[in-house]
Amino acid sequence: MQTHKNLYIIKIKFYKWERGLLSGYIKVLDLQKKCIINYSFKINSIPISLATDKIKK
């Protein structure tokens, strides 16, 4: 496994919440390669109504 000491997160953006699926991207600065990388992701998560119900109780 390779470790990255020269990677810095610049921005994390969430842009869609649909049917419990959260989409977004992470913008990362790579000092070793001298470039900016965008990683997009999708996360399965619990519906927001369930999350707020648990907080209220």
> What mean pLDDT value characterizes the chain?
77
Q: Which two structure tokens, joined as six digits, stand for 30? A: 């790579």
Read off the pLDDT of each residue in 45-55 and give the average, rounded to a whole number: 57
Question: pLDDT tens, 16-40?
Answer: 777 778 889 999 998 988 999 998 9
Torsion on CA atoms 52, 15, 8, 33, rounded to nearest 10: 150
Q: Which two structure tokens, joined as six digits, stand for 37? A: 């990388």
CA distances from 52 to 46, 48, 57 (A): 10, 6, 9
pLDDT reported for residue 1: 47
User: Is pLDDT above 90 for 2?
Assistant: no
Alpha helices by DSSP H, 1-57: 48-56
Read off the pLDDT of each residue in 4-11 and give the average, rounded to a whole number: 84
Residue 6 phi, psi (nearest 5) = -105, 25
